[in-house]
Amino acid sequence: MGHKTEEMLQRNASKVRQVASAARSKVLTIDSMNERVKAVQYAVRGPIVIRAGEIENQLKAGSTEFPFDEVIKCNIGDAHAMQQKPITYLRQVVTGTCYPDLMDGENNNGVIPKDASEQARRILGSCGGGSVGAYSNSAGVPVIREDVAKYIEKRDGIGNVDPENIVLSTGASGSITTLLKMLVNGPQDGIMIPIPQYPLYSACLAEFNATVVPYYLNEETNWSLDLEELERAYSESDVKPKAICIINPGNPTGQVASYENIKKVLNFAYSRGLFVLADEVYQDNVYAEGAKFHSFRKVLLEMGEPYASEVELASFHSTSKGYMGECGFRSGYMEILNMDPDVKAQLVKLISSRLCPPVPGQAAMDVVVNPPVPGDDSYELYIQERTKVLADLKYKAKLVADTFNAIEGISCQPVQGAMYAFPNIKLPEKFIKEAGQKGLVPDAYYCTLLLEQTGICVVAGSGFRQKAGSWHFRTTILPPKEKMEKFAKLFTEFHLGILAKYE
Amino acid sequence: MGHKTEEMLQRNASKVRQVASAARSKVLTIDSMNERVKAVQYAVRGPIVIRAGEIENQLKAGSTEFPFDEVIKCNIGDAHAMQQKPITYLRQVVTGTCYPDLMDGENNNGVIPKDASEQARRILGSCGGGSVGAYSNSAGVPVIREDVAKYIEKRDGIGNVDPENIVLSTGASGSITTLLKMLVNGPQDGIMIPIPQYPLYSACLAEFNATVVPYYLNEETNWSLDLEELERAYSESDVKPKAICIINPGNPTGQVASYENIKKVLNFAYSRGLFVLADEVYQDNVYAEGAKFHSFRKVLLEMGEPYASEVELASFHSTSKGYMGECGFRSGYMEILNMDPDVKAQLVKLISSRLCPPVPGQAAMDVVVNPPVPGDDSYELYIQERTKVLADLKYKAKLVADTFNAIEGISCQPVQGAMYAFPNIKLPEKFIKEAGQKGLVPDAYYCTLLLEQTGICVVAGSGFRQKAGSWHFRTTILPPKEKMEKFAKLFTEFHLGILAKYE
């Protein structure tokens, strides 16, 4: 070993903070890790949900230590986990792409019907090597992007959609994360998000070290989005907001925005120079009489110039919600409108470094945007299944809100759309004090007790953020009817018990 | 409208940088977007590859303007895109999970064989609601994590693996990205990466604003990893390195590390206090006589204490490579060893905010780690298919290296493993000068001409980084034999043409 090498080794040794020894400490510790990751919070799968999983495992293993025999998981919009049956046609198309031998046609087994086989073949024809085993283009399989474009055109009945503006992703989460990442450089960049919000938004902004500019939805008027509140939020922000996120239909709040309301938001975004992110993953989930889904794109185009060609808009959709509910496939897309071409090139580069979204999920997305139509062999079964899912959700949307509103100290706005109720709970002072003594946020303490005493797993309102001094929780409306009815009974008893004990 | 409101509106108006007008500029521009995203480079799907896609589309549309009739895509390790047939059993298990009616058993169609059906049923039994349509646990489906753990135990023949230390992900890329993100806080954190490297590493570090600490593989000794070079890189780094990444078998370089070499690296990581990231996605792709894959985990455990229980290690694997080559399913896993429990909790929280990896992909991963064994009904077909894929790759590994080595001015190290050759090209001075005049890196110019003149699409060495003044490109060995032979012929002519013109 030369002199130079020895010198280098010595220099290196002195560079090492800790001398290697039996007590050598970890390299990656809570102190040395990424601070921004530590700042991330995501209650939808937080400590209460982790605890619910533990209890479930104990129950499975035969434990009798709990005063209930099952966990009712209302923490996450996960329809299939709650026994919702898949739409047969969707699974047939996906199966055709994964195992082409099963498709209809000569030399094939033919268990996949003709129309599903045709759709699967068309998708495969647009895949590398004709296989879902190949990476797709970074922005998705070409024909699926085309089908998404046609779906949007048909849905909105206005304007053309360029498939080049459709970017498929790993769930809508993948698109939302990517776009927020594109937007922000640091704490000097603000993003307006609704409160309450789906916590992916605050989680991403924490991770990317950007500033949350909260605007509050008005609970009294069913979580409406008031223009004056947008102006207030913009005005009081320490940093210039760069974008505004809207979730419509609302998560966790279940409201559906009116056409006029959307117009006002777009006008605000235009005049204030904001990029618009429209989270529209619940566009097929509208239950209330009189409520109707209007896409931000449609309203924008109908506003005409200069809005239509100037407001930069991204809209998100997913296979996970709607009546398909295929969360496990992790598929979503974003449509971008009026994006600067140079920025779009950067977006494509960024997603290319992660290669592509899952291709079987993309095939599932193709069915979401291109389901059977009247006259197709599979139409009848498809429409039966679709109608049943949506009718069940509509029934439960009302059941859940009615249940809460019948209980003293609870009020719940109607669930117009999406998959959630977000009831307001008045907690007794004594309860709030006890929570404080235990170092817990009152609604988190409430949800913990609810889980431990009844097996019901919901997410505390604080996980979505809420007006100071108000307390809520979010429950899905997804468990099967009889379970939802059991939920209603157990929950009512629990809440009355809390009142009796603490008031 | 009240006085306060008006005041607020005026204040807001003055906050807006540009007055809304017909010439209103974009909110999100190349100047206002995330600087870190701009810094990302990813040549594997860069401009040359985008151009190849355009040419391919033109050829499909009947264009005759190119002096070739097809693009030979050697830019990416995408086996199925290159007509590699899927392993039937894998697709059967995935199909069983997606469309359970097709499984073996009473009332079922029975097109999925018994053993595949059993495997699919076991997976479904561990999924939410018994469905791949449900989100899985954030770290993956429990029985698949167990199967991965057993696979590693069996592969290494030493120690036990806790399924809690297995984290499934959206491709290995998903895990690598997550772990690098956990590790770094900013430019003060250095990560040692091999040069040449798979550009996901540099892309992530650019995005996370951390410092690349390059160490150079030694081309002369088949891209070996020399300890003295590691010490040099560590010594000369301006920041303290926090982790070291190793890619074994190598990408883009195709070498396979020896047991002794791995031991030295681990000893270095131990003494210098480095977290170890072992990219082992090509662990099933070893072709050369005498070369053998040893996992970093195995070597570490065999080194005994204090190494075995102190060196923090993450190892990555994927469904995309090996003999399965199922890139489109986007599935991977990481195994973590000796990670601080508090950091692990943060890791789980971070991945929870993205919900879960694609579940059909997880099912595919289960087959990668738990394929048929002798005695199973599907074993014979499986082993036939597996043997063919690996034998073809072995043949092409040699063909490609031999082709390059037979050409003047090209030298290529043997392709011991993985799916790539990384030949060294001596470029004439005149050619380098011409590239400079065109504002192109010489090897990128070379690869551009290669594409335009022959239809062969490869990635320039500069996309992976390389020793200053040396030029390379990466080609996969994946196209079918006859296409690889065509590649050899076309490439030889092209290169001789370059020499004739510029020397």
Please write the tens of the pLDDT for every residue from B381-438: 999 999 999 999 999 999 999 989 998 889 999 999 999 999 999 999 999 999 999 9
The minimum CA-CA distance between B502 and chain A, rounded to whole Å, is: 33
pLDDT in tens, B182-191: 999 999 999 9
Say whether A170 and B136 touch across the interface (CB within 8 A).
no
Closest chain B CA to residue A204 = B353
Residue B50: predicted pLDDT: 87
How is residue A271 written in tokens?
Answer: 């005049």
Please report, as a single letter, which amino acid is at residue B99. Y
Say whether A328 and B34 touch across the interface (CB within 8 A).
no
Say whether B359 and A99 touch across the interface (CB within 8 A).
no
Q: Give the residue-averaged pLDDT of A137-153.
A: 96
User: pTM score, two decimals?
Assistant: 0.91
Is the pLDDT score of B22 beyond 60? no
**More confident: A1 or B244:** B244
Between CA B88 and CA B36 the distance in angstroms is 42
Q: Give the residue-averaged pLDDT of B445-449.
A: 95
Closest chain A CA to residue B232 = A8
Q: Strand, coil or helix: what is B75?
A: coil
Say whether B349 and A42 touch across the interface (CB within 8 A).
yes
Residue B4: predicted pLDDT: 66
Do A128-369 and A43-83+382-502 fall under one CATH topology?
no
Between CA A93 and CA A319 the distance in angstroms is 14
Closest chain B CA to residue A325 = B133
Do residues A141 and A126 make contact, with C-beta atoms less than 8 angstroms apart? yes
Q: Give the residue-averaged pLDDT of A469-479.
A: 93
Is the pLDDT score of B18 beyond 50? no
> Which residue from B26, B78, B232 is facing A128, i.e. has the nearest CB?
B78
Give A12's contacts in chain B (Cβ within 8 Å): 231, 234-235, 272
E-strand stretches of B19-105: 72-73
Class of domain B43-83+382-502 (CATH, top level): alpha beta
Substitution target from A41, A354, A457 for chain B, most B beta carbons within 10 A: A354
The minimum CA-CA distance between A375 and chain B, rounded to whole Å, is: 24
What phi and psi, each to the nearest 5 degrees, are found at residue A174?
-60, -45
Say whether B133 and A328 touch across the interface (CB within 8 A).
yes
Give A33's contacts in chain B (Cβ within 8 Å): 182-183, 185, 343, 346
Residue A47: predicted pLDDT: 84
Between CA A64 and CA A50 the distance in angstroms is 19
Q: Which residues pair with B5 in a beta bridge?
A: none
Report the alpha-carbon angle A175-A194-A179, nearest 5.
20
Closest chain A CA to residue B176 = A354
Residue A22: predicted pLDDT: 42
> Which residue from A17, A231, A349 is facing B12, i.e. has the nearest CB?
A231
Only one residue has tokens 């997913």, namely: A318
How is residue A127 written in tokens?
Answer: 């895949």
Do residues A113 and A378 make contact, with C-beta atoms less than 8 angstroms apart? yes
Give A92's contacts in chain B (Cβ within 8 Å): 99
Q: Tell which CATH architecture fits domain B126-369.
A: 3-Layer(aba) Sandwich (3.40)
E-strand stretches of B264-380: 275-279, 313-318, 332-337
Q: Kindly report which listed range (A107-121, A340-354, A434-448) carries the lowest average pLDDT score.
A: A107-121
> Which residue from B33, B78, B98 is facing A134, i.e. has the nearest CB?
B78
Give A80's contacts in chain B (Cβ within 8 Å): 128-129, 131, 133-134
pLDDT > 90 in chain A, percent: 80
Q: Give the residue-averaged pLDDT of A344-371.
A: 93
pLDDT in tens, B61-88: 999 999 999 999 999 889 998 889 999 9
Give A184's contacts in chain B (Cβ within 8 Å): 34
Substitution target from B29, B191, B354, B365 for chain A, most A beta carbons within 10 A: B354
Q: List alpha helices for B280-373, DSSP H.
A: 296-303, 307-310, 341-352, 359-369
The minimum CA-CA distance between B313 and chain A, rounded to whole Å, is: 10
> Which residue from B82, B274, B360 is facing A329, i.e. has the nearest CB?
B360
The minimum CA-CA distance between A43 and chain B, rounded to whole Å, is: 9
β-strand B190-195 against B241-247: which pairing, if any?
Answer: parallel
Give A312's contacts in chain B (Cβ within 8 Å): 26-28
What phi and psi, each to the nearest 5 degrees, are found at residue A213?
-110, 100
Residue ranges covered by each domain of chain B: 43-83+382-502, 94-125, 126-369
Is the pLDDT score of A2 beyond 90? no
Give B17's contacts in chain A (Cβ within 8 Å): 240, 273
Is the pLDDT score of B34 beyond 50? yes
Class of domain A128-369 (CATH, top level): alpha beta
pLDDT confidence band for B19 (50 / 70 / 90): very low
pLDDT in tens, A6-62: 777 676 766 654 444 445 689 999 999 999 888 888 777 778 888 998 999 999 999
The minimum CA-CA distance between B408 and chain A, rounded to whole Å, is: 34
Do residues A265 and A215 make contact, with C-beta atoms less than 8 angstroms apart? no
Say whether A128 and B81 touch across the interface (CB within 8 A).
yes
Residue A45: predicted pLDDT: 74
Say whether B329 and A242 touch across the interface (CB within 8 A).
no
Give A321's contacts in chain B (Cβ within 8 Å): none
Closest chain B CA to residue A352 = B45
Closest chain A CA to residue B80 = A134
Is the pLDDT score of B353 beyond 90? no
B212 — alpha (psi -120 to 50), left (phi > 0) or beta? Answer: beta
Say whether B340 and A94 touch across the interface (CB within 8 A).
no
Report the alpha-carbon angle A173-A176-A179, nearest 5.
145
The minimum CA-CA distance between A116 and chain B, rounded to whole Å, is: 13
